[in-house]
Structure 1
């Protein structure tokens, strides 16, 4: 029962999305949008103006500008710790027994395994194979199907009770979260050891293996 309200919300948003995309199709046919997904870069007031033929000036320019801003922010790495006042807390993790050169994070699901790295930035673009080590910036419910194939999880953002940690424990795979810049440092095909008990990722073979 706890998950049912979430199901209703997600289902409702799916219906809203389809309705918006239908409106977007009509706007694209009129030449007001370049592609249907552009509708999600407009606020409701702007969308209403388009639908009521109260045309905005340079609507495509507004959309292009917001796309660039979105992409810029998407590429930024959020801080591991931030206070309620917005202060970024930095520092070196202490008390972690890890080999020299290992990437250190927070142990989130116990166990230690070895495998080949697969960096995934978007779940819809994932080409994960059975037994791969899933390395991602974060996870949310949309990533859950990938856990069927993953041998272990390494994410840049998260704590003991965030999505990836909870799902990794449910699937019984090791997980290390809060590994800064993991998606940039680790490369597809590297052979690594993930220790979800102590909280580190060790590169065992730096040579990239094609899979």
Structure 2
């Protein structure tokens, strides 16, 4: 393969192993294929995942008929207790800037986020259920948590004071001040 056959060295990551083998033989990368994959990746990154999905692909929606105070947000209660504190909206783990006693508001958590939990007073996520990562770890730490809160990272502003009712699955915004997302 000629040096410089790809536009950028990182374009190699958009190709399958078989496509890389073919590239080594013919030195003619398919720049259109790489561009299409990059655009699909950007498109998919803007999608909102469902709150919960079964292994069969069924999307689980919230139960109707639950009383939620006006202006409050509802989700699934997964770790009991009530806490008030500063909301820290974190969209990506590498941008987390938390202090002891903050309430993490995130799209989801996974094992990489576990190191943040000792700092947290509460947890709110957009996706998840009773046995998802955030729910299980929140219970281990005794942190009130509500998961499956639709659009939580857009409706709750970074820096607002919120109340997390992990017993009833209700998030109340107490102050409207907020600085932006982390």
Deviation per CA, 1:82-122: give whole Å up to 9, x if none: 577756565654335x4321100000111111111111111
Deviation per CA, 1:28-68: give whole Å up to 9, x if none: x74525243x4332222112233x24334433x43332222
Which one scores higher on RCO, CA 8 angstroms, separation ≥ 6? 2
Aligned length: 179
CA–CA separation in structure 1 for the residues paired with 2:73 and 2:96 = 23
Identify the match of residue 41 of structure 2 among 70, 73, 77.
70
Q: Which range moves more in the overlay, 172-181 or 130-139?
A: 130-139
TM-score (norm 2): 0.84
SS at match of 1:48: helix
- Asked if 1:158 corresponds to 2:128, the answer is yes
SS at match of 2:163: strand
Asked if 2 retains the 8 angstrom alpha-carbon contact of 1:93 and 1:104, the reply is no
Structure 2 residue runs of 5 or longer lacking an equivalent are: none
- Asked if 1:42 corresponds to 2:15, the answer is yes
CA–CA separation in structure 2 for the residues paired with 1:146 and 1:53 = 47
SS at match of 2:26: coil
SS at match of 1:192: strand
TM-score (norm 1): 0.73
Change (3 A) 1:33 1:94: farther
CA–CA separation in structure 2 for the residues paired with 1:31 and 1:55 = 6
- Asked if 1:200 corresponds to 2:174, the answer is no
- Asked if 1:186 corresponds to 2:156, the answer is yes
Asked if 2 retains the 8 angstrom alpha-carbon contact of 1:33 and 1:39, the reply is no
Change (3 A) 1:127 1:81: closer
Asked if 2 retains the 8 angstrom alpha-carbon contact of 1:46 and 1:56, the reply is no
Superposed structure 1 runs of 4+ greater than 4 Å apart: 81-92
User: What is the root-mean-square deviation in Å for CA atoms of aligned residues?
Assistant: 2.5
Q: How does 1:28-177 map to 2 (within 5 A)?
A: 30=4, 32=6, 34-36=8-10, 38-50=11-23, 52-59=24-31, 61-81=32-52, 88=59, 90=61, 93-96=64-67, 98-177=68-147
